A and B are shown apart, each in its own frame.
Chain A
Amino acid sequence: MKNSKILWLLGLVLVLSAFLAACGGGDDTDTGTENTETEETEGAEGAEGNGGEPDSVQELNLIEGAEIPSMDSSIAEDAVAFNILNNVNEGLFRLNEENIAEPALADGEPEISEDGLTYTFKLRDANWSDGTPVTANDFVFAWQRAIDPDTGSPYGPYMMAGTVKNAKEVSEGDMEVSELGIKAEDDKTLVVELERPTPYFMSLMAFGTFYPLNEEFVTEQGDKYASNSETILYNGPFTLTNWDGTGLTWTMEKNPEYWDAETVQLEKINVDVVKETSTAVNLYQSGEKDRVGLSGEFAMQYAEDPEVVKELEPTLFYLKFNQERNGEETPLANENIRKAIATGFNKQDLVDVVLANGSLPANYLVPTEFTFNEAGEDFRDINGDMLPFNAEEAKTYWEKGLEEIGETEVTLELLGGDSELAGKMDAYLKEQLETNLEGLTVNLKAVPFGVRLELDEAQDYDMQNSGWGPDFQDPMTFIDLFVTGASHNLMSYSNEEFDNLVEQAKGELAQDAEGRWEAMAQAEKILIEEDAAIAPIYQRGLMSLQKPYVNNIISHPFGGDYSYKWAYISGKE
């Protein structure tokens, strides 16, 4: 009997030690990277790449977080597809290393008519991967295909309506596709007509939905078009290979037909889909992968690692304040109540302790390091911070607000996502607000994304933790979300002055870069500082581990997330 007890104990110890070993795993992972550590010290900034001479083997090994849902540029609507499209295809313009849209397939800047409504592009000599030339008709075909209701493209109508002439009418079936504002004058001349002057139109031309498609090839493939890597034509820095349409693996190879092939140094990019961050980190540590995105606890764990690369994304998260729920005014219809909540939680602690992934506290709507004027100044510099955290002021606003609505206690619902991170964040907000604003009770409601959209649409919430990423490189992609009746407003916010400023920026000021910039800045000030229509929370950051021999992967604020055109390997051997 005694013997058996010892055996049980032994078993228990075994189990426990197995658990402990698993838990302790993260701490001693550096032993796996011993061989890279020496190189690290050579590079000036370690993780930023060493900037040395390119190696003879130019192969990059990457991880993607999800499968490719579609490589058809008319159908694509997700980050993975747009990222690959940005690397295997090309439009009239491309975002360069400084994230400025520069001519790509367009041969120099277009000719723009005086009213800003007609753009005439000359095309450079460029080929598809099968050797046939890219013509103006390829653009006409692609744009018409993306707007044709029969195609069922989500991004075609979304990106073109209100910008390209007749796009809305065509997408709703009220006009023929041939009436869309795009014509091929000859093989090398493309004329685009717009609904209204669009100062950021060049940056739109870098977006996947506007890329050309070879009509003959696409028509010939029919339903099979883009169903795997063999049934697509490429005109970008790389071609896609080894993709079977549903698999977790694909390769990008240097495209010898690319017009700027001499700039491209990488010969091959091997991509594998890994959905589990711990697995991705293990693959990185084993040397099989050169870069891995860190999420949640991994960001915290590796924050001090010399191989960490930090990026600031132009994605902003904020609380939406619903002013009218089920036909009745909510307490949030009161400006002072809104201001109290907007200034009533500590954002710095939130990003430092809860998020810990390099995010920034946001006291603004238009992200920092996102848009720049001609002189290279950040739009953010105009308004700076608005309504920052201030517990004292919050209290004053709160008391004033309560008095105005004649209540001593207020209960509000906070609608948020059901991920672990969202849960932690909302719990933090609840704790902060209830501590700083006496008499406030916040009820958390965590739901899946789809449910949140439905509740948003029905305007059935009090406060909502919401976010937005840009679709083009202009402050307007954030600002016009909140004009009266906009499909993202859904919180009964309405301010005539704000609406007018947005209207001016889109209309009469469209061609006056400075005045337009001013109008948008003023609109932002009204929205955030004067009205506190929403309460900005944070701008998202992203941490990755990257081997020191990887150089010059460029990250972009919209469209495709990364460009590998300029990337190279140096010092791996």
Chain B
Amino acid sequence: MARYIGKRLIYMFITLALIATFTFFLMKILPGSPIASADKLSPEQRAVVEARYGLDQPLPVQYFDYMFGLLKGDLGISINQFKGANVTDVILSRMGPSAQIGFQGMLLGTVLGILFGMVAALRQNTWVDYGSTIVAIIGISIPSFVFASMLQYWFGLKWDLFPVALWKDGFMSSVLPSIALAMFPLATAARFIRTEMIEVLGSDYITLAKAKGASGSEIAFKHAFRNALIPLITVLGPMAVSILTGSLVVEQIFAIPGIGEQFVKSIMVNDFSIIMGTTIFFSVFLIVVILIVDILYGVIDPRIRLSGGKN
């Protein structure tokens, strides 16, 4: 196991270096200048500002400077969004709210989704099944900006149950955005669990368990549910990353100081160091989650072995 993880860590490092390299050069091809008032400045004046941020250096020099900085954990300074601010500080200050609503949304969505999916599978082709399918379809098909706006309008403005927006009332501020984020994992989990459960419930070993006299709930939880979880975990891992690292739409609508919105904006305004910093941060997160998911497979299903049969 330790050897497997060690090997994976080396691959992770190589993957990251490649991601950083690709992002760096792709980003430099982006049209436009990171100087906000570029349309007003003369070329000489622009050159002075560019020199301040080391953008006057040849590309390879900039690249190696950046990579060496990265090795030392230095993500550089923001060029135009938060001029002069340390990118690490920017990410740290923006990560909290994104992670909080992401975690809550993920938890709520997955738990409810699994519940809906299981009930639907166990009560196949009844109104319970159709009801949960409808919820799942709504969750997948309504774009999050419509859903978030609706939550805001009704629960915030009309019924005054939660804050309309802004990140000021602690947990209360996080309720509506979390629900908005929960819809997608809820729908996904419900659909996956339902399909898998139905398939598992029809398989031979369930029939055997039934024949042995195992109770209905025992079959449902111990046998069917555990096996139905595997495909769900595959999709939940990356989905967790995308939700925990922030959603542009939900953060914008609820005016939450999150990281997702920052990332998109940094690309639009060519804030190179923020683009790099957030990309690397997201990549590390994703790679780590994929590793955890791979380890979890083995825990859930011993048939899936991690280290090619040597373990």
Chain A contacts to B: CB under 8 angstroms: 3-4, 7-8, 11, 14-15, 18-19, 21-22, 25, 29, 32, 67, 69-70, 72, 75, 77-78, 149-155, 157-158, 161, 171-172, 223, 227, 244-249, 272-276, 278-279, 282-283, 285-286, 288, 448-451, 453-454, 456, 471, 487-488
Query: Are B48 and A286 within 8 A (Cβ)?
Result: no
Q: Which of B63-104 contact A (CB under 8 A)?
A: 80-85, 89-90, 93-94
Q: In whole Å, how far is B79's beta carbon from the nearest beta carbon of chain A?
A: 10
Specify which chain B residues have a CB less than 8 angstroms from the CB of A25 in the assembled complex.
153
User: Do B80 and A244 have beta carbons less than 8 Å apart?
Assistant: no
Are B83 and A72 in contact (CB-based, < 8 A)? yes
Residue pair A152, B48 in contact (C-beta under 8 Å): yes
Interface string of B47-59 (1 = CB under 8 A from A): 0110111000000
Interface contact B49-A154, CB-CB below 8 Å: yes
B84 and A7: CB pair below 8 A? no
Chain B nearest Cβ from A480, distance in angstroms: 13
Query: Could you list 16 further interchain pairs (A-B, Cβ under 8 angstroms) beyond the known A157-B45, A158-B41?
Result: A158-B45, A245-B85, A246-B82, A248-B255, A272-B166, A272-B255, A274-B166, A275-B255, A282-B156, A282-B164, A286-B156, A448-B31, A450-B270, A451-B32, A453-B32, A454-B32
Q: When chains A and B are docked, how far (Å) is the Cα of A268 from the Cα of B211?
A: 74
Is A448 in contact with B93, judged by CB distance below 8 angstroms? no
- Count CB-based A-B contacts (< 8 Å): 167
Beta-carbon contact of B51 and A19 below 8 Å: no
Within 8 Å by CB of A279, from B125, B164, B270, lies: B164
Residues of A within 8 A of B160 (CB): 286
B134→A471 contact, CB < 8 A:
no
B37 with A453: CB separation less than 8 A = no
Q: Does A3 lie within 8 Å of B84, measured CB to CB?
A: no
A21 to B142, CA, bound (A): 14
Closest A residue, CB atoms, query B39: A453
Structural contact, A7 and B152, CB atoms closer than 8 A: no
Q: Which of B82, B255, B256, B257 has the most CB of A within 10 A?
A: B255
B48:A157 contact, CB within 8 angstroms: yes
Q: Using known A-B contacts A15-B142, A279-B254, A279-B255, determine if residue A172 contacts B134 with beta carbons closer than 8 Å.
A: no
The answer to whether the Cβ of B22 comes within 8 Å of any Cβ in the partner chain is no
- Which one of B89, B134, B142, B268 has the highest number of Cβ atoms from chain A below 10 Å of its Cβ? B134
- Bound Cα distance from A272 to B35, whole angstroms: 25
A11, A70, A149, A171: the one within 8 Å of B82 (CB): A70
Judge whether A67 and B81 touch: CB under 8 Å.
yes
A8 pairs with B130, CB closer than 8 A: yes
Q: Which one of A4, A7, A14, A171 lies within 8 Å of B45 (CB-CB)?
A: A171
In the bound complex, residues from chain A placing their C-beta under 8 Å from that of B81 are 67, 69
Partner of A449, one of B32, B131, B142: B32
The reply to whether the CB of B167 lies closer than 8 angstroms to some CB of chain A is yes
Q: How far is the CA of A19 from the CA of B82 in the complex (A)?
A: 38
Is there a chain A Cβ closer than 8 Å to B14's Cβ?
A: no
Closest residue on chain B to residue A228 by CB atoms:
B85
**Docked CA distance A279–B251 (Å):** 11
Nearest residue, chain A, Cβ from B249: A276
A288 pairs with B31, CB closer than 8 A: no
CA distance A47 to B252 in the complex (A): 28
Q: Would A77 and B37 count as touching, CB distance under 8 A?
A: yes
Q: Do B31 and A450 touch (CB < 8 A)?
A: yes
A285 to B38, CA, bound (A): 37
Q: Say yes or no: is B138 at the interface (Cβ < 8 Å to chain A).
A: yes
CA distance A157 to B46 in the complex (A): 10
Q: Enumerate 5 A-B pairs (CB-CB under 8 Å) in ascending A order.
A: A154-B40, A157-B48, A158-B37, A171-B48, A248-B167
Per the bound structure, the CA–CA distance linking A130 and B251 in Å amounts to 37
Choose from A18, A152, A246, A456 the contact partner of B85 (Cβ within 8 Å): A246
- The verdict on B299 contacting chain A, using a C-beta distance below 8 Å, is no
Q: Closest Cβ of chain B: how far from A419's Cβ, in Å? A: 12
Give the Cβ gap from B251 to chain A, nearest Cβ, in Å: 9
**B256 — nearest CB in chain A belongs to which residue?**
A248
Q: For this complex, into which size category does the number of interface residues on chain B fall?
A: 35 or more
Q: Which residue of A lies closest to B152 (CB)?
A: A282
CA distance A487 to B37 in the complex (A): 13
A154→B82 contact, CB < 8 A? no
**B252 and A15: CB pair below 8 A?**
no
Please name all residues of chain B whose beta carbon is closer than 8 Å to the beta carbon of A450 when the two chains form the complex: 30-33, 270
- The 8 Å CB contact of B166, one of A70, A152, A283, is A283
Q: Which residues of B contact A161 (CB under 8 A)?
A: 45
Whether A14 contacts B134 in the complex (CB less than 8 A), given A149-B48, A283-B164, A450-B33, comes out as yes
How many Å from the CB of A222 to the closest CB on chain B?
A: 11
- Residue of A with least CB distance to B141: A15
Q: Are B36 and A282 in contact (CB under 8 A)?
A: no
Residue of A nearest to B44 (CB): A172
Residues from chain B with a CB closer than 8 A to the CB of A488 are 39
- Contact (Cβ within 8 A) B252 A276: yes
- Which of B43, B48, B83, B153 is the one whose CB lies under 8 Å from A70? B83
Q: Assess whether A69 is in contact with B166, with CB atoms less than 8 Å apart.
A: no
Residue of A nearest to B91 (CB): A246
Q: Let me know if A11 and B166 touch, CB within 8 A.
A: no
- Bound CA–CA A154/B2 (angstroms): 53
B51: chain A residues within 8 A (beta carbon)? 149, 152
Report Cα–Cα, A19/B256, bound state, in Å: 25
User: Which A residues touch B125, using CB under 8 A?
Assistant: 4
Within the complex, the shortest CB–CB distance from A376 to chain B, in Å, comes to 29
Distance in Å: Cβ of A32 to nearest Cβ of chain B? 6
A454-B31 Cα distance, complex, nearest whole Å? 8
CB-nearest residue of chain B relative to A487? B42
A453–B33 touching, CB < 8 Å: yes
Of A149, A282, A488, most B-chain CB atoms within 10 Å: A282
**Of A22, A149, A272, A471, the contact of B149 (CB 8 Å cutoff):** A22
- Interchain CA distance A150-B49 in the complex, whole Å: 9
* Distance of B266 from chain A, by nearest CB (Å): 12
Min CB distance B49 to A, Å, is 5
Question: Quick one: closest B residue to A161, CB to CB?
Answer: B45
Q: How far is the CA of A161 from the CA of B41 in the complex (A)?
A: 11
Tell me the nearest residue of chain B to A76, going by C-beta: B83
- 6 closest Cβ contacts across the A-B interface? A450-B32, A152-B52, A11-B134, A70-B83, A451-B31, A77-B37
Tell me the complex Cα distance, A155–B46, Å: 10
Whether B288 is near chain A, meaning CB under 8 Å from some CB there, is no
Closest A residue, CB atoms, query B135: A11
Cβ B45 vs Cβ A244 within 8 A: no
How many Å lie between the Cα of A448 and that of B256 in the bound state?
26
Which residue of A is nearest B53, CB measured? A152
Q: A158-B37, A245-B85, A247-B257 are in contact. Are A152 and B49 (CB under 8 A)?
A: yes
- Determine the distance from Cα of A342 to Cα of B232 in the docked complex, in whole angstroms: 61
Residues of B within 8 A of A449 (CB): 32
| B46 (CB) vs chain A CBs: closest residue | A154
- Contact between chains at A151 and B52 (CB < 8 Å): yes
Query: Scoring B residues 197 to 230 as 1 if CB is less than 8 Å from chain A, else 0, what string do you get?
Result: 0000000000000000000000000000000000
Set of chain A residues within 8 Å of B270, measured between Cβ atoms: 450
Q: Is the Cβ of B252 less than 8 Å from the Cβ of A275?
A: yes
Cα separation A478 to B93 with both chains bound (whole Å) = 41
Provide the residues of chain A in CB contact with B93, threshold 8 Å: 244-247
Q: Determine if B157 is an interface residue (Cβ-Cβ < 8 Å).
A: yes
Bound form: Cα–Cα A21–B146 in Å: 11
Judge whether A75 and B84 touch: CB under 8 Å.
Answer: yes
Beta-carbon contacts of B131-161 to A below 8 Å, as 1s and 0s? Answer: 1001001100010001001101110111010
Residues A227 and B257 in contact in the complex (CB < 8 Å), given A279-B165, A453-B32: no
Residues of chain B within 8 A (CB-CB) of A151 are 52
